[in-house]
Amino acid sequence: MRVTRFIASGLARGDGSLSRTSNTIAWVSVALSIAIMIVALAVVAGFKAEIRDRATGFMGSVMLVQPGQSPLNELYPFSEQLSYREALAAAPGVAGVSGVAWRSGLIKTDDNIGGLSFKGVDSLYDFSFFANCLVDGALPDYHGRISNDILISRTTANSLGFQTGDDVVVYFIGEEVKVRKFRLCGIYDAGLEEIDSKMAVADRRQIQRLNGWQPDEVSSVEIRLAPGTPIEAATDRIENLIFSQMQDGDRALFVTNVKKLYGHLFDWLALLDLNVLMILLLMIAVAGFNMLSALLIILFEQISTIGLLKAMGMTTKEVGKVFLYRAGALVGKGMLWGNVLGLGICLIQRYTHILKLDPVNYFVSFVPIKLHLPQIILLNIIAAVLLMLLISLSTRFIARVSPDKTMRME
């Protein structure tokens, strides 16, 4: 093995100009392919994480709703005093349980009119999501007396001409028109244009009063999951928990999740998975083709050396190892620089958000990045194995080299 490596390193120093050019093209091709694959994986993981976090921040990960109703139901309330609520809050992966009340309303100004869904939350609601995307004002405080403070999105505030501290008159249409004056305490921008432009946050007691409900009646119960908890698996566990612990006095509720509520968002992410798979296959094919071309050029330039090594007693397998070591060095160099380039691009985008997107079309305002070290390591291993397997095909050429013919050619 040491002999074959020594010969491979000697051949590298003696490469002709054509070989050196093809070698450069080969390792640069590998580097660019690896970099593109790392960026593609990081972008898709970023989109998944951003959209999931923002969608669950608005609605929770899993919801309990009336059968046949959506979580935004404002006609058929149920009591949040469920016998299994404590067990639900203590279930693995569950970070919090909150009852919410919904009511749709119209905001009318002198120049414009807009419809919003008002999400009523109580004093125990976790505002960490809205705290992270608050751009102006302050979060509402729903402790103590019933509050008139509300949160709306920056898109809504800009379109209707509101600033923090302004009075917001809202018309609630039902059997009779009810008018309420709220105070805009804060403006948020979650970047998920499709959702945040249609939602406002208000005191749950205000919404319950508008709907004519009792203090314990809600539209739905939101269940927040701990970061990284799979939504589908958690949904199944919650269904099983409710089925096993539900008592006769409990209302029969339907368990749904954010993936079903915003199915089009997650379907779009599934399409991205297919696109990334095609990119990975294409990049492996391009890198493999260039490596094959480079190795074949080396073999043709070193055909007399191959014949000489065979004449000196080296087997075809041993001669093949010489050139596999040579190709492996090129692959290693390309993968090293590819990782440096790919990770560098990802880190720059992650901390600067220099590449922007139209949130109307892409749901977020910048290209999101999320790096998974195990995923990147696995990508490198698979890429290296596939490239070396492709390259090993070209060494079959060595078996056809006849020592007597190559030496006669010399």
Dihedral, 326, 328, 331, 332 alpha carbons, nearest 10:
-110
Of residues 290, 215, 227, 288, the one with CA closest to residue 93 = 227
* Average pLDDT of the segment spanning 249-274: 83
Residue 392 belongs to some domain of the structure? yes
Flag whether 260 is in a domain.
no
* Residue 289 domain flag: yes
Amino acid at 43: V
Asked which of 252, 276, 310 is the last residue of a domain, the reply is 252
Segment 325-358, tens digit of pLDDT: 777 777 888 889 999 999 999 999 999 989 888 7
Q: Which residue in this structure is represented by tokens 């997107």?
A: 357
Both 241 and 305 in a single domain? no
Degrees to nearest 5, angle at CA 143 with 142 and 149: 25
Q: Is residue 332 in a domain?
A: yes
Same domain, 214 and 310: no
Q: Which of 209, 227, 252 is the last residue of a domain?
A: 252
Domain boundary among 252, 275, 309: 252
Q: Are residues 207 and 321 in the same domain?
A: no
| Per-residue CA distances from 98 to 119, 120, 226 (Å) | 12, 11, 14
From residue 295, alpha-carbon distances to 101, 192, 207, 330 in Å are 67, 49, 72, 10
Domain contains 83? yes
**Cα-based distances in Å from 45 to 49, 74, 231, 233:** 6, 35, 16, 19
Domain boundaries, position 362:
2-54+265-409
pLDDT tens, residue by residue, 20-79: 676 777 788 888 888 888 988 898 888 888 888 888 888 889 999 999 888 888 889 999
Are residues 230 and 144 part of one domain? yes
The answer to whether residue 149 is domain-embedded is: yes
**Those residues with Cβ within 8 angstroms of residue 12's Cβ, 6 or more apart along the chain or in another chain:** 326, 329
Q: What is the secondary structure of 194-239 as a DSSP string?
A: HHHTTEEEEEHHHHHHHHT--TTEESEEEEEE-TT--HHHHHHHHH
Computed over every residue of the chain, the mean pLDDT equals 82
Contact 172, 178 (CB under 8 A): yes
Do 166 and 89 belong together in one domain?
yes
Q: Are 117 and 72 in contact (CB under 8 A)?
A: yes
**HSE-up of 68 (CA within 13 Å, CB side)?**
2
Consecutive H or E run containing 371: none
Same domain, 370 and 275: yes
Instruction: With cut-offs at 50, 70 and 90, classify the pLDDT of residue 98.
Output: very high
Is 242 found in the same domain as 100?
A: yes
Report pLDDT for 13: 52
CB distance 359 to 193 below 8 Å: yes
Which tens digits make up the pLDDT trace of 129-181? 999 889 999 999 999 899 999 999 988 898 888 999 999 999 998 888 889 99
C-alpha–C-alpha distance, residues 410 and 92, integer Å: 75
| Residues 93, 210 within the same domain | yes
Distant-in-sequence, close-in-space partners of 329: CB < 8 Å, separation ≥ 6: 8, 12
Contacts of residue 87, defined as CB under 8 A and 6 or more positions apart, other chains included, come to 241, 245
Q: Which of 8-12, 55-59, 99-103, 381-385 has the lowest mean pLDDT?
A: 8-12
Q: For the chain, what is the total number of helices (H) and then of strands (E)? A: 16, 12
Residue 19 has pLDDT above 70, yes or no: no
The pLDDT value recorded for residue 299 is 63
Distance from C-alpha of 88 to C-alpha of 245, rounded to nearest angstrom: 10
Same domain, residue pair 272 and 387? yes
Exposed / middle / buried, residue 110 (Cβ in 10 Å: 0-12, 13-18, 19+) = exposed
- Are 222 and 130 in the same domain? yes
Q: Are residues 96 and 45 in the same domain?
A: no
- How many structural domains compose the chain? 2
Yes or no: say if 287 and 30 are a contact pair by the CB < 8 Å rule.
Answer: yes
Kindly give the interhelix angle for 373-394 and 316-352, rounded to the nearest 10 degrees.
Answer: 150
CA gap 156, 199 in Å, rounded? 9
Region 191-196: what's the mean pLDDT?
A: 75
Predicted confidence at residue 120, as pLDDT, reads 94
How much is the pLDDT for 282? 82
Res 92 pLDDT > 50: yes
Task: Tell me, yes or no, whether 336 and 280 share the same domain.
Answer: yes
With residue 104 as reference, give the H or E element that holds it.
strand 94-108
Q: Which residues pair with 169 in a beta bridge?
A: 181
pLDDT digits (tens, 9 = 90+) for 274-289: 878 888 788 877 777 7
Q: Distance between CA 307 and CA 203 in Å, rounded?
A: 85
Residue 60 belongs to a domain = no
Within a domain: residue 178?
yes
Q: Are 18 and 328 in contact (CB under 8 A)?
A: no
